[in-house]
Amino acid sequence: MKKQIWTALSVILFAGSAWAQAMGSLAVNGAGGENQGFRKVKAVRCDATKRGSCDNPVFFELNKPTAVPAGLYIVGFENSINPDLVEVRQGSTTTLQLERIDIPANMQGKKVRVYRDMAKLVEQKKIYMTMFYMKRHLFFLDKDNFGDLYLAGAWDRDFVQRFTYEACDNFEDRDDKPASVVRAENICNAWKNARSPMDLRSLFNFNVVEKQKDGSFDQIWVSTPSDSLVMRHPPYLVAVPLKDSTFVSVFPGAYRINVEGKDANGKTIKNVSIEVGNYSKSGSTLGFSLNVDGLFTNLGEGDCASARTWETESRAYCTSDDQEGCNRSAASSCTPM
């Protein structure tokens, strides 16, 4: 009898807790492009005070306010990600607006790819943000194809999601560590000691984008306590490769339109880089060029007016004043010539 009473009481308490949970609404407005087949919003609520403390994702339709628990959310649509955490407050609706990218007329009718431009600082910030709060990437991505759910086989969708740093919890404190373990341990220290999204910048190399112009980037990953790898992320498409399509919808950020072909006059069509929406460039978490062999070296102190490389609060590795966030007058440390 006592057990039955306790069971009934537990059910009532659990139900009461669920009913009492502060609820709000989240809406994302816009229209999915013709070749954006998934057309659902993906939102993950995270506790910003505790890394890795995030709920299971929720999916919902565009243009329909959806009841969700109040809190801070990472929000994505078709492999694009909102630049900042989104706050949902109790009893109110938070509304986000997608941006439309129109395919230029001279590219229409060709096989067009629209992907996130990882050479731009706003997209780098999104990588840091999701990895810091979720301890994993937001979307699935197939290594040999493109973007979330696009052209990926059922067994191929773990390429990005497996890049966690769970192996960092398995290190043993030994005095006779081989060099491979020391290197992996240094990487794990950078992961564990991060206090903000930007602190993860040493784990990524976005400079590869400038060299290849294909949207790819590198991530240093520890798969076991003795094995560290540099993994190449393929381009992040925001739609299946387009043909006879006129636009895609994305969250504010930086994107590149890529097409191979010639226009009506026989001229080679050049790639187009475009930034859409309002976001704070000064608040972006910026990327840097990674020297894998010299990982975690301090830039040191010196005369930054003639420095070969320098660091600012917004960018970890600068070689030119022309780079965004690299004004020498704001240098915090540098390596003299």
Rounded distance, CA 75 to CA 229, Å? 29
Q: Give the span between the Cα atoms of 181 and 172, in whole angstroms.
A: 10
Compute and round to an integer the Cα radius of gyration of the chain: 23
Q: Which residue has the higher pLDDT, 197 or 106?
A: 197
User: CB atoms < 10 A from the CB of 273, how many?
Assistant: 14
- Over the stretch 114-171, which tens digit does the pLDDT of each residue have? 889 988 889 999 999 999 999 988 886 544 444 444 444 554 445 566 678 888 887 7
Question: Are 221 and 232 within 8 A, CB to CB?
Answer: no
Q: Which residue has the higher pLDDT, 257 or 241?
A: 257
Averaged confidence pLDDT in the chain: 76
pLDDT-derived band of residue 30, with 50, 70 and 90 as boundaries? very high
d(CA 198, CA 124): 10
pLDDT at 324: 72
Distance in angstroms (rounded) separating the CA atoms of residues 158 and 140: 6
Q: What is the pLDDT of residue 64?
A: 95
pLDDT in tens, 263-291: 778 788 778 888 998 775 433 333 333 33
| Length of the chain as a residue count | 337
DSSP string of 196-223, one letter each residue: SGGGGGGGEE-HHHHHH-SS-EEEEEEE
Residue type, 57: P
This prediction has a pTM of: 0.74
- Model pLDDT for residues 1-23, shown as the tens digit of each residue: 544 554 444 434 433 443 457 99
Q: Would you state the pLDDT for residue 101?
A: 92
pLDDT of 299 reads 31
Q: How do beta strands 58-61 and 272-276 pair? A: unpaired
Specify which residues 24 forms β-bridges with.
68
- In eight-state DSSP terms, residue 168 is G
Q: How do residues 63-79 score in pLDDT, each as one tens digit?
A: 999 999 999 999 999 88
Q: What's residue 314's pLDDT?
A: 65
CA atoms within 13 A on the CB side of 84: 12
